[in-house]
A = this chain, B = another copy of it.
Amino acid sequence: MPNLKSIVESLLFVADAPVTFDRLCTLLEEFDRGEVKEALNALQDEYGREGRGVVLAEVATGFQFRTPAENADYLRRLTKTRPVKFSQSALETLAIIAYRQPVTRAEIEYLRGVDSGGVLKTILEKKLIKILGKKDIPGKPLIYGTTREFLELFSLKDLRSLPTLKEIRDLSETAPYEQQEELPLGQSEGEGDQL
């Protein structure tokens, strides 16, 4: 016997946008609208109690769990140190520097085919790369390499522990067994019956 109140609670919790009553009834077509309404009311009572960290808000577009305004300051702390995902361009640039160091901005841009100044600045600020010096060619461009922080980020002992492209490519190759010779399958047939 399904617990409708529990189901509605789950649905509203997982939904990434407010859910209207009609939508709820459509999702739960085997229940009648009165039952759904009842479950919703029970939830509103429960989440309406004093001192809850989650409330069931009814906004123009439907029902949604939200946090009460008085906790907002604490939530802000959560975002202070939110881990960020690298953009593909940052990842590419970092990879080129890791595997080709020491390398100049012009070389990076040649490989990537796009301007990489902004991205270089970002990963410099994150201290994942450093300026090793200047290349003694006309224009004296800066040359870049990775830092100790880079190794720490990837828990690498040293640059030698970086996997090579070949090692990754080998993963998707087919087994070396393919050139196996034919087995004398026929000759074994009789043998098995001997015992």
List residues of chain A with CB under 8 Å of any chain B CB. 2-3, 5-15, 27-28, 51-54, 65, 67-68, 70-71, 74-75, 77-79, 105, 114-115, 117-118, 120-121, 124, 131-134, 140, 142, 155-157, 160-161, 163, 167-168, 170-175, 177
Contact = CB atoms under 8 A, between A and B. Distances in A.
Contacts of A79: 14
Given A133-B157, A134-B160, A174-B115, A10 B51 contact: no
B51 A6 contact: yes
B11 A121 contact: no
A78 B27 contact: yes
B13 A65 contact: yes
Contacts of A8: 53
5 contacts: A2-B74, A3-B53, A10-B75, A27-B74, A117-B170
